[in-house]
Structure 1
């Protein structure tokens, strides 16, 4: 199927690894041109060096919580690609800690990243997206936004706020022809889980992750992969999804408990 993404200009935050990197690769295969950012530009360039040989790529170091940094990146993307047709807000992390273990500054930082880390990007990109005939935003969020966990209390609260905000943005930006949708991820095998595996002292990732999947009630009995998230993100950017906005797509292997 042709997703009609050839020549489409897509901006991705947090593109040096995990879901952001997998999405960049899939979009390049679909013929899109890319604007990619991460906090470490040298790591980003190294991870995506092969993409520059197949499509146009704009690179930047960017702190998504810093509005001036985001504005500079979006300006460079628009100038380098000639405009924007899509944005993937992917930069993020999880704070695995109970409320009693979390400081006030850490709570503020988590909300700053989850809320302003998305809002800064979408605000800056809005004028360019409004000029596109198929402007689209995909917010990479989590199932935590709909069902809190004590071990991720602050992250869950921040993600719930982000889900609500994303729905509000879909309503507000519809007048500009910009669609805003969310992908809610479950447990995905990314760098964060690899670091936790290393810290665990276990020597068998498959067994270690399967045990966690069982404990968390994941119906498919395993972690997801970045590639499995990249596909729904990419399809939500497609002009073929032109009547879909304000939606939240659950991609969590059946881990959800909400109805």
Structure 2
């Protein structure tokens, strides 16, 4: 199925690895013009070396409002506008309440909220001009299903889910759709690093299957970045024109909420 991205421009943050990189590659393959950014511009360029399609890359700190504004403006000038945004910048803080200090709480909330607000505000004038303006915020199942060992991250994820719903309502009058993709355990660099540091005698497939069983994932495995990218592209697509304010779980059934 043609998802309708040909000739459209999409901004992707956190694009140098994992889900952001997979989304960038998939959108390019679907014919989109992609403006991709990451904190480490050199790493981003290496990751996308050889990528086919119309691509603009830049180093950009999503917590720096001026930097974000300049990046989005450059993308809009080069490609003639912005039709979509994928807010993917993020991280997880593995710590319980007792181990998380006040600054770490502030840092988690700043990253989860302002990495989205800065980009949406910068892109909004262009999204309003598009006939298919859309935003997808990459979130986590933690937003509805918190874990005590990820106390600050869980709370910040819940705040982002709430913010996404508010943005969807506020921007509906401008025909700009806003949705969430909520991830479970995805096979990205962080899990590969944890496997390598575990000194396990099993191969990664067996190790990750054991992890999936321990975490209660019904499908019995970790997800892939490409599986998440497909969900992102589907919600971003003009073909999803009547979907806004929604959240799509990509977690192999790990979510327990109704």
Q: Which TM class, normalised by the smaller chain length?
A: over 0.9
| 1:118-137 Cα distance to aligned partner (Å, 9 max, x none) | 11111111101000000000
How far off is 1:201 after superposition?
Answer: 1.9
Give the corresponding residue for 1:146.
Answer: 144
Give the corresponding residue for 2:250.
Answer: 251
Distance 2:90 2:61 in 1: 11
Distance 1:200 1:76 in 2: 43
Distance 1:123 1:21 in 2: 23
Give the corresponding residue for 1:44.
Answer: 44
Give the corresponding residue for 1:234.
Answer: 233
Distance 2:213 2:152 in 1: 23
Picking from 171, 177, 180, the partner of 1:179 is 177
Give the corresponding residue for 1:117.
Answer: 115
How far off is 1:60 after superposition?
Answer: 0.9
Picking from 105, 111, 121, the partner of 1:107 is 105
How far off is 1:237 after superposition?
Answer: 1.1
How far off is 1:219 after superposition?
Answer: 0.3
**Are 1:58 and 1:81, in contact at CA under 8 Å, matched by a contact in 2?**
no
Give the corresponding residue for 1:16.
Answer: 16
Give the corresponding residue for 1:207.
Answer: 206
**Partner SS for 2:223:** coil
Give the corresponding residue for 2:68.
Answer: 70
Unaligned ranges ≥5, structure 1: none
| 1:55-95 Cα distance to aligned partner (Å, 9 max, x none) | 22111111111111111111111111110010000011111
Distance 2:187 2:251 in 1: 12
Question: Structure 1 residues 203-212 or 60-69, which shifts more?
Answer: 203-212
Unaligned ranges ≥5, structure 2: none
Picking from 80, 85, 88, the partner of 2:83 is 85
How far off is 1:207 after superposition?
Answer: 2.0
How far off is 1:192 after superposition?
Answer: 1.6
How far off is 1:191 after superposition?
Answer: 1.3
Give the corresponding residue for 2:215.
Answer: 216
How far off is 1:175 after superposition?
Answer: 1.0
How far off is 1:105 after superposition?
Answer: 1.2
| 1:194-222 Cα distance to aligned partner (Å, 9 max, x none) | 22222222242222211221111100011
**Are 1:10 and 1:34, in contact at CA under 8 Å, matched by a contact in 2?**
yes
Instruction: Say what the alpha-carbon RMSD is for the aligned residues.
Output: 0.9
